[in-house]
Structure 1
Amino acid sequence: MKKIRLLVVDDAKFIRDLVQKTLRAEYPEFEIQEADNGRRAQSILKNQSFDLILCDWEMPEMSGLELLKWIRSNEDMQDQSFIMVTSLDQKENVVEALQAGVNNYVTKPFSAEQLISKIMKELVRSGKLTQAEVNSLGRKDRIASAGGAELLAGGLAAKPVTVKKGPREKGLLLLNAEQKYPMQVKDVNPREITLQVTREASLQLGQPVLLGLMGGTEDAPLKVSVRAFVLSQQLAERTPRSEQQLVKAVFLKQDPETAQKFDQLLNAPQG
């Protein structure tokens, strides 16, 4: 397997160090280079190539968005894999990045698990690695050894939570007062959710949605409606006739009361 080369671009040195330490602890095979702003990254990219760029948005001299637009305007780099890593989590920011050609979007704060998952998915999507090669890397649970990078850039640890099978796995997708669709929750954690819903639910990347989630037990049910935006979509089955779609959505900032209910739902016993 060829050596994977990554470029980490962020004006905050501690973020660059944390990203590098996390990745090296998990995948010592990776070759990682860094730049402290978009202008420096631009200079590096004129002479070197990388399998993936992890880039902050807000930086001096040249922002991450400006760097992304420059890359997409360069014929030799139009297919360059680019993940935006930023604290800008508003819908308009995500839409702007998508329109500029970003491949994925990670908001700060984020867990090491979330970052690594996005990286590996993009490397597979872009053909830099096959799923078999990813599996052969023999990744171990060594996140703790990454030096306190359980949640990069601060905040509370966002441990993934998988919804258990059963009646509480269902929910409701609301596009507006008239458009409501039953959905099935596949995975959910404090930052994002993967759900299955009919293709009749017409969705677009970056579109805001309201998700009615249920949890808890039959004796102590919990319900909460949370705001999110659509990050990605794909057919639920490998056939163009699939009547279902898998949708990944990222949760937006909730009001304090909703955030508390959502946290209770994620941490409550299921069944």
Structure 2
Amino acid sequence: MTTIRILSIDDDKFIRELIDKTLRSELKGFEIHQAENGKKAQQLLQNHSFDLVLCDWEMPEMTGIELLKWVRKQETLKAQPFVLITSLDQKEHVVEAGKAGVSDYLSKPFSPKQLIDKVMKQLIKSGRVSREEAMSLMRKDRIAAAGGAELLAGGGAPRAAAPARRSKGKGLLNWDQQRCPVAIREINREEALLTLKTPKGFPSLGGQVQLLLAAGTDEAPVRISVPALVYSLQLAEKTAECDTAHLRIQLQPESAEAAAQLAKVLLLVG
């Protein structure tokens, strides 16, 4: 397997160096290139190929979202895996990134493990490495050897766990060739709060999913599959092994007819 090339973009040199050190210490055979802003990254992207772009949102001269929009307009870069890294994790920012064509979204603060997980997920998804090759690339014995990369995790207090709510029904959630039952805690025409339990991992923040809903009777069922965007994801427990998460998704019916069908299902769900 040839060398994997990653472009890391951030106006903070300290953060760039920490990301570089984390990737080099935990993964084998990686070549990390750096750019201090979107303009410099443009030049590199025009003259070199990269297997993955890791880009901060808030930068001078050209922001990460502006660079992403430019990348998606380039014929040779339309399929470029592009991960935005930012503290701008409000709903409107996640939605904007999704509409601009972001591949994935990593919120600050984040841990070295979360960074590695995002990188490997995109490399596997793009076909750059297989799952077997991904395992061989990981240096399991050096997960804690990044030396200072823990600063990427920040010092903020963890958010409180989402309060328990009585389920309003059940549905199915599809993403990345996975299908998993979900409990619907809250739902309206614009968004839904779901609880998902799976040992196979969760949808990514800013990722696209499909929510399958059904209501009515066996004789007169009403079903709909609604595209949606994940704009909030919270683990039910503060452990790396947690297999349950609470997701908030923005529902995105593709037509007026689909929106009317969704309204009908919601009326039946109550």
* TM-score after normalising by structure 2: 0.65
Amino acid in structure 1 at the alignment position of 2:185:
L
Structure 1 equivalent of residue 219 of structure 2: none
1:174 to 173, 176, 185: 185
Q: CA deviation at 1:14?
A: 1.1
Asked if structure 2 preserves the Cα contact closer than 8 Å seen for 1:208 and 1:229, the reply is: yes
Aligned residues: 207
Asked if structure 2 preserves the Cα contact closer than 8 Å seen for 1:88 and 1:107, the reply is: yes
The gaps in structure 2 that reach 5 residues or longer are 159-180, 215-224, 239-244, 251-270
Q: CA deviation at 1:227?
A: 6.7
Structure 1 equivalent of residue 197 of structure 2: 185
Structure 2 equivalent of residue 27 of structure 1: 27
> How many Å separate the matches in 2 of 1:8 and 1:17?
9
> How many Å separate the matches in 2 of 1:206 and 1:94?
8
Instruction: Summarize the alignment of residues 139-218 of structure 1 with structure 2, pairs less than 5 Å apart.
Output: 139-152=139-152, 154-155=154-155, 172-176=183-187, 183-186=195-198, 199-200=212-213, 202-206=225-229
Seq. identity, %: 49
- The farther-off stretch of 58-67 and 133-142 is 133-142
Amino acid in structure 2 at the alignment position of 1:79:
A
> How many Å separate the matches in 2 of 1:212 and 1:131?
25
Amino acid in structure 2 at the alignment position of 1:91:
K
Amino acid in structure 2 at the alignment position of 1:78:
K
Q: CA deviation at 1:174?
A: 2.4
Structure 1 equivalent of residue 46 of structure 2: 46
> How many Å separate the matches in 1 of 2:55 and 2:194?
37
> How many Å separate the matches in 2 of 1:212 and 1:40?
37
> How many Å separate the matches in 2 of 1:87 and 1:63?
13
Asked if structure 2 preserves the Cα contact closer than 8 Å seen for 1:171 and 1:211, the reply is: no
Secondary structure of 2:43's match? Answer: helix
Q: CA deviation at 1:126?
A: 0.5
Q: CA deviation at 1:206?
A: 2.5
* TM-score after normalising by structure 1: 0.65
1:228 to 248, 254, 269: 248
The gaps in structure 1 that reach 5 residues or longer are 159-169, 216-224, 231-271
> How many Å separate the matches in 2 of 1:212 and 1:112?
17
Q: In 2 relative to 1, CA 210–200 (structure 1 residues): closer, same or farther, beyond 3 Å?
A: farther
Q: In 2 relative to 1, CA 125–157 (structure 1 residues): closer, same or farther, beyond 3 Å?
A: farther
Asked if structure 2 preserves the Cα contact closer than 8 Å seen for 1:172 and 1:211, the reply is: no
CA-based RMSD: 3.7
Structure 2 equivalent of residue 127 of structure 1: 127
> How many Å separate the matches in 2 of 1:17 and 1:214?
31
Runs of 4+ more than 6 Å apart? 177-182, 209-212
> How many Å separate the matches in 2 of 1:110 and 1:95?
20
> How many Å separate the matches in 1 of 2:4 and 2:152?
22
Asked if structure 2 preserves the Cα contact closer than 8 Å seen for 1:181 and 1:198, the reply is: no
Secondary structure of 1:155's match? Answer: coil
Residues 125-183 of structure 1, C-alpha deviation per residue, up to 9 Å, x if partnerless?
A: 0011111111222531423210122351522598xxxxxxxxxxx98432427999985
Amino acid in structure 1 at the alignment position of 2:23:
L
